[in-house]
Each structure stands twice: as C-alpha cells, then as structure tokens.
Amino acid sequence: MAFKMKYTIEQRYLPKGTKRRSGIKNQGIDFIVAHDSGNDGSTAAGNVNYYTNSANVVSASAHTFIDDKAIIECVPLTEKAWHVMYNVTTDNELYGFDSNDHAIGVELCYSYKKGNMNNKESYKRYVWYMAYLCYKFNLNPMKRISGHNELDPNRRTDPYKNALKIMGITKDQFLKDVVKEYAECTVAENLYSVYQGNSKLKDFPDYVSAVEYAQKWSNVNIRKITDGSWVWSNIKKESEDDCPMKLETWQKSMLTDGLNKLSEINGVDGTPLINDPEGWTKKVNNGTITAGELAIINFALISRQVIK
Ligand SMILES: [Zn+2]
C-alpha cells in the first residue's frame, strides 16, 4: 500500500541543539497531539521563522505548522518537540507516555479577526497531514489523536475550543474527516507484471524498472496489476493489411452482392472473374477478411479484365 501525497511537506528545521530543538530522539510515535498556533492570522512560515529567531529563548515547540498554502516540519519527526507540559498527566493515563517523548505535535494556522488565510484550505491540509501521520506511524485516527485542550484543559483551548471552533468543526467531525481522508489516500501501489505470452516473468513496483527488465526479452508485454491494462510491449505488431477488417452490416451485404455478381461475369480469358464466391462471402460475413485480401481480389479483377 501507499499513501497519496496530495500536498508537499516542506522541511525547514530549526537550528539543532537549541531550546526549541534539542535534537534528542523521541521514543517512537504512539499518538498525535492536535494543536493550533493560538495566534490569529499567523502563517506557517511566519511561525517557523519566529521559532527559528527565538530558538534559544523559549523551549516550547512543535513538529509541524500548517496553513492554507504550506505544511512545514520544523522539528524532524524522529526528534522530541516540546508541545505539552510534562506535568500534565492525561497523556500518561491515555497512552502511557508523555506527549513530548511519544507524540507528534501539529499546529493549525487560522484566520479569525486577523490575516487573510483560507481556513478551509488550512483545514484540508491539517486533516490530510493527520491522516498521513496515522498511515506513517500505523495509528488508529479515532483513538490516537488528542486535542491539546483535552490533555491540558485548564491551560489550553487549542484546537477544539479555538481554531476548529472558529472554523465550525467539532472534534467528532474532525476525526471523521481524518478517517475518511485516510481511506481515500491509502491506495494500492502501482505494480507491473512482465508477461511473455501467457506466462508471467516477474513483478515490479515501478514502471521504469519493469521496462528495463522487459527490454532484455523478446515478445513481452507489461501489464499494470491495479487495472489490468497493458502498458508496454515489444511484440512486433502485424501490419494493418493482415488484420481482419471491421465491417458494418451494410458493408458486408454490399460486398456479398458484389462478389456474387462478379462470379457470374467472365474475364477476358473466358473464366469467371472470381472463383469460390461462397468462400469469400463466408470470410466477409464471419469478419475474417483482411484489407490485404480485398486488395488482392481488386487487383485480380482489374488485371483479368484488362490484360490478355
Ligand atoms: Zn497546543
């Protein structure tokens, strides 16, 4: 399986070994904490710039900022970020760990009274990124995403009682949207099979290596496993003259009539212009007559009428 990368994820990491980015590895990812920036109208890039400029001043941080145009990771997902107070106990009760050691912190940027961000676009990216993290870390979206305000209700309102409330989205709706996005973006990988005749030679995850392999063989086809279509072939195609002609019913009856009449006419040598009209008629009607055969009949007729 693969995950549809609908949006680009940028990496603009904060300076390492600072208060905001210690560089210490996290202990594996077991859940996600949904945040919002808490700063009406501030963009993802603006927040990351601010973090960078104050990297040694404050130890609060998050992994990712998302607005209507960008998804920016400022702390590697393999490292700790400082996004939930250690003395909060709800995360330990829910997941058995502190958020900073075992969770990704994702910040949603929004416009309420300030800025001109498109909240709908920011929300779409936020939902997609949550689904992406759930895929990447094999997490159940319904159980493994907590709002910061749920973990630290006395101090925080983000995101359910702040940005998402401003956007008119409930927690229930948000989680359902993530589940839906997860399902939509989880797709089968494009697999390609190389066939020689009816026997399969080998499968490949990508088109380029399938073709590379197929080129070493003669008379092979490459078939896309997902939809069964043939996408590449080095089999020499028959010339068009050798392919059966597609004839409409009216064309068939016209040809049949013509063939019958020709069999009654004698050529310059005194014999009928064509032999075996039944045989030709049969070919016309069962659709096996080829353009080449028709051309031969034509040539024979013309030459036998003219040449002595
Ligand atoms: Zn928060």
Q: What is the identity of the amino acid at 112?
A: Y
Q: What is the reported pLDDT for 237?
A: 66
The residue with greater pLDDT, 273 or 49, is: 49
Q: What is the reported pLDDT for 238?
A: 62
pLDDT tens profile 71-111: 999 999 999 999 999 999 999 999 999 999 999 999 999 99
Q: Which residues neighbour ligand 1 (ion) by CB within 5 Å?
A: 35, 148, 158
The residue with greater pLDDT, 109 or 298, is: 109
**Mean pLDDT, residues 5-21 taken together:** 96
Q: What is the reported pLDDT for 22?
A: 96
Distances (CA, A) of 300 to 85, 224, 266: 95, 46, 13
| C-alpha 145 to ligand 1 mean position (Å) | 13
pLDDT tens profile 256-285: 888 888 788 887 777 777 778 888 888 888
Q: What is the mean pLDDT of the chain?
A: 90
- Taking 70 as the threshold, does the pLDDT of residue 305 lie above it? no
Which band of pLDDT confidence, cut at 50, 70 and 90, is reported for residue 247?
confident
| C-alpha 120 to ligand 1 mean position (Å) | 20
| C-alpha 142 to ligand 1 mean position (Å) | 19
Q: What is the reported pLDDT for 239?
A: 66
| C-alpha 178 to ligand 1 mean position (Å) | 19
Q: Which CATH number fits domain 2-186: 3.40.80.10, 3.40.50.1220, 2.40.30.60, 3.40.109.10?
A: 3.40.80.10
The residue with greater pLDDT, 298 or 279, is: 279
| C-alpha 156 to ligand 1 mean position (Å) | 7
Q: Report domain extents, the chain.
A: 2-186, 192-233, 240-306
| C-alpha 182 to ligand 1 mean position (Å) | 23
Q: Which residues contact 57 (CB under 8 A, 6 or more apart)?
A: 19
pLDDT tens profile 201-229: 988 878 888 999 999 998 899 988 777 77
| C-alpha 158 to ligand 1 mean position (Å) | 5
Lowest-pLDDT choice from 3-17, 124-138, 252-266: 252-266
Interatomic CA distance for residues 232 and 196, integer angstroms:
12
Q: What is the reported pLDDT for 56?
A: 95
| C-alpha 138 to ligand 1 mean position (Å) | 23
pLDDT tens profile 62-72: 999 999 999 99
| C-alpha 238 to ligand 1 mean position (Å) | 67
| C-alpha 294 to ligand 1 mean position (Å) | 79
Which band of pLDDT confidence, cut at 50, 70 and 90, is reported for residue 297?
confident
| C-alpha 181 to ligand 1 mean position (Å) | 23
pLDDT tens profile 31-47: 999 999 999 999 999 99
| C-alpha 196 to ligand 1 mean position (Å) | 58
Q: What is the gyration radius of the CA atoms in the chain, in angstroms?
A: 35
Q: What is the reported pLDDT for 308?
A: 44
Lowest-pLDDT choice from 6-20, 129-143, 216-230: 216-230
Which band of pLDDT confidence, cut at 50, 70 and 90, is reported for residue 248?
confident
| C-alpha 100 to ligand 1 mean position (Å) | 12
Angle between helices 249-264 and 277-285 (to 10 degrees): 180
pLDDT tens profile 173-191: 999 999 999 999 987 776 8
Structure tokens at 303: 């030459």
| C-alpha 7 to ligand 1 mean position (Å) | 23
| C-alpha 147 to ligand 1 mean position (Å) | 8
| C-alpha 150 to ligand 1 mean position (Å) | 10
| C-alpha 75 to ligand 1 mean position (Å) | 15
